[in-house]
Amino acid sequence: MSHYSIQSLPQSERPRERLMKFGPESMAASELIAIILGSGMKGRSVLVLAQELVAHFGTLARLAQATIEELRQIKGIGQAKAVQLRAIFSLSTRLASQSSQARYRVDNPIHAYHLVKDELQHEKREFFMAILLDTKGYVICHEVIAIGTLSNTLVHPREVFYPAIRHKAASLIVLHNHPSGDPTPSPEDIAVTQKLVEAGKLVGIPVNDHIIVGDQGYVSLRQKGHSFN
């Protein structure tokens, strides 16, 4: 075991033991990062390495946004540690996003667009998503339903409505991106919409809109005059 691992620290200074005894709320960010890293390197303990990471990026927010390449510029952070950190921060970002969605209301297509645009706008494959809403139009969650090729996405009502039923959604909005960047609806987009609207009537969970995301904006099929009743 590395001489500079957590286990090499005095008992009172070991982050893992401190977390179990006092809880994570009592610990500095560097101590929590040290637990994730597990070990340091010759001449630099894991706690010192974690402190240097935080100091280098200045704030925890900047550290959380750092790429694997940027993390690897820190001496003692190899690819494995950089990947671990990216995974942890990505999960934290997703959790924070889902928590904030609980009171995010969608009563206009632009609200739905802003919720997912960063996830869909520059994807090179088609992602088909559903935003699940409660009875007052607040977001319960949004989920990827299917991932297709550059040219098409295969979407079945079963996959769309299963999460809506599981989360007891009152209604939903479906969205997908056009990797070409042009959000103009295709005949297939319109056909899929009609199929999902009919399925929604059967299960009692209406589809409020189908939004297509492009590079610079979106198209709402409802706003284009397509029927969702």
Judge if 53 and 118 occupy the same domain: no
87-134 pLDDT, tens per residue? 988 888 777 766 655 578 999 999 999 999 888 888 888 999 999 999
pLDDT in the model for residue 1: 42
Matching residue, tokens 């935003």: 131
Whether residues 116 and 77 share a domain: the answer is no
Examine the domain organization and report whether 90 and 126 are in the same domain.
no
**Is residue 152 over pLDDT 70?**
no
Is 46 a member of any domain? yes
Question: Tokens 């597990």 belong to which residue?
Answer: 38
Confidence grade of residue 37 (pLDDT, cut at 50, 70, 90) = confident
Can you tell me whether residue 174 is helix, strand or coil? strand
Q: Are residues 208 and 116 in the same domain?
A: yes
Arithmetic mean of pLDDT over the chain: 85
Same domain, 159 and 199: yes
The domain total for the chain is: 2
Asked if pLDDT for residue 14 goes beyond 70, the answer is yes
Query: Looking at residue 229, what is its pLDDT?
Result: 76
Report residue 226's pLDDT band, with 50, 70 and 90 as the boundaries.
Answer: confident
Higher per-residue pLDDT: 217 or 229: 217
Same-domain status, 210 and 143: yes
Regarding pTM above 0.85, the answer is no
159 with 190, same domain? yes
Return d(Cα 199, Cα 161) in angstroms, integer: 8
Kindly report the CATH number assigned to the domain that includes residue 15.
Answer: 1.10.150.20
The average pLDDT across 13-28 equals: 77
Q: Indicate whether 34 belongs to any domain.
A: yes
Q: Are 36 and 17 in contact (CB under 8 A)?
A: no
What Rg value do the Cα atoms of the chain yield, rounded? 23
- Nearest CA to 197 among 143, 152, 160, 166? 160
Considering the domain boundaries, does residue 228 fall inside one? no
- The CATH number given to whatever domain includes residue 139 is 3.40.140.10
Let me know whether 192 and 116 are in one domain: yes
| 97 lies in the same domain as 152 | no
Report yes or no on 62 lying in a domain. yes
Q: Does residue 145 share a domain with residue 97? A: no
Domain assignment present for 226: no
Tell whether 114 and 201 lie within a shared domain.
yes
Does residue 134 sit in the same domain as residue 95?
A: no
pLDDT value of residue 125: 87
Q: Is residue 229 part of a domain?
A: no
Question: Which one of 76, 101, 126 terminates a domain?
Answer: 101
Which residues are registered as beta bridge partners of 44?
Answer: 41
Last residue of a domain, one of 70, 101, 132: 101
Percentage of residues in the chain having pLDDT higher than 70: 87
Looking at residue 101, its pLDDT comes to 55
Domain hosting 43: range is 6-101
Give the mean pLDDT of 78-88: 90
The three-class DSSP label of residue 140 is strand
* Confidence band of 2 (pLDDT split at 50, 70, 90): very low
| 127 within some domain | yes
The verdict on residue 227 lying in a domain is no
Which pLDDT value is given to residue 16?
A: 77
Residue 48 clears pLDDT 90, i.e. is over it? no
